[in-house]
């Protein structure tokens, strides 16, 4: 249970600072499961992490900077897992590549939700140099996937861009109001759990098509 008693304001060692930073990220992540991004405040994060609000700003200047760091953490974890899977399986056919990407992309709802925020909120509201640093780091991280894919770097990056676009699109759709059943006129109830099958359908089609044109 989270208490209202704040912890010491300043961490002294590098280990303490890293642990404090991680505590802040975990607090923001917990709150985000029940609070919309727009309604979530730095005050709430500070209370959840049992820190004074001023201490929070020693680590992150803004809410956008905090969530960009959270996104970077989730992206690094996914890229690491995907690179390991590709290295282990060494896929050669479009089906094998799709299987590996799909297996590494299960249970990624938090990452997909953060990616929705990236282009709409985060990059538009953080310091330009921080956004540039994020993009450079992401490009470097994606290079780890390129070296394990059986296609040219250009084709691999096209596949990853489609993976990104489809993931964001279907996540936004799954969070929207359900559509109406054309037969009954009632709200459809399956919008939340169609993501994986529809995502797989598009991903396999993209990999098959791009693999056929790879040179």
Assign 177 a pLDDT band (cuts: 50, 70, 90): low
Measure the CA dihedral 59/62/68/74, to 10°: 50
* Residue bearing tokens 């404090």: 20
Task: For the beta carbon of residue 210, count every other beta carbon within 10 angstroms.
Answer: 19
Check: CB of residue 23 under 8 Å from CB of residue 70.
no
pLDDT at 1: 42
Assign 183 a pLDDT band (cuts: 50, 70, 90): low
Least confident of 19-23, 56-60, 75-79, 182-186: 182-186
Highest mean pLDDT of the ranges 153-162, 166-175, 192-201: 153-162
Task: Write the pLDDT tens digit of every residue in 105-143.
Answer: 877 888 988 998 998 899 888 999 999 999 999 999 888
pTM of the model: 0.83
Centroid of chain to Cα 61: 21
Residues 145, 86: Cα–Cα separation, whole Å? 8
Average pLDDT over residues 77-85: 94
Angle at CA of residue 156, ends 138 and 83, nearest 5°: 60
Q: Is the pLDDT of residue 192 over 50?
A: no
Average pLDDT over residues 153-173: 89
Angle between helices 153-175 and 195-213 (to 10 degrees): 160
Q: Phi and psi at residue 38, in whole multiples of 5°?
A: -60, -35
Task: With H, G, I as helix, E, B as strand and everything else as coil, classify residue 161.
Answer: helix
Average pLDDT over residues 62-76: 95
Nearest to 29 by CA among 117, 141, 99, 160: 117
Domain boundaries defined on the chain: 1-60, 62-213
Assign 3 a pLDDT band (cuts: 50, 70, 90): very low
Check: CB of residue 17 under 8 Å from CB of residue 65.
no
Check: CB of residue 133 under 8 Å from CB of residue 71.
no
Average pLDDT over residues 149-174: 89
pLDDT at 17: 87
pLDDT at 108: 82
What CATH number belongs to 62-213? 1.10.357.10
* Fold: same for 1-60 and 62-213: no
What CATH number belongs to 1-60? 1.10.10.60
């Amino acid at each position: 249970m989270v208490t209202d008693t704040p912890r010491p304001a300043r961490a002294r060692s590098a280990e303490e600072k890293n642990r404090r930073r991680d505590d802040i990220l975990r607090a923001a992540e917990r709150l985000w499961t029940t609070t919309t991004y727009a309604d979530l405040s730095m005050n709430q994060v500070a209370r959840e992490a049992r820190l004074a609000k001023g201490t929070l700003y020693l680590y992150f200047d803004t809410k956008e900077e905090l969530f960009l760091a959270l996104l970077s953490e989730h992206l690094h974890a996914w890229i690491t897992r995907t690179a390991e899977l590709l290295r282990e399986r060494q896929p050669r056919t479009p089906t094998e590549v799709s299987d590996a990407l799909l297996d590494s992309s299960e249970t990624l709802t938090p990452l997909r939700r953060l990616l929705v925020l990236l282009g709409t909120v985060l990059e538009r509201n953080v310091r330009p140099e921080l956004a540039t640093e994020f993009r450079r780091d992401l490009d470097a991280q994606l290079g780890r996937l390129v070296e394990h894919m059986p296609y040219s770097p250009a084709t691999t990056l096209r596949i990853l861009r489609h993976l990104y676009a489809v993931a964001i699109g279907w996540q936004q759709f799954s969070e929207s109001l359900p559509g109406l059943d054309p037969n009954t006129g009632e709200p459809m109830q399956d919008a939340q759990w169609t993501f994986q099958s529809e995502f797989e359908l598009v991903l396999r089609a993209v990999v098959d098509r791009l693999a056929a044109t790879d040179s």
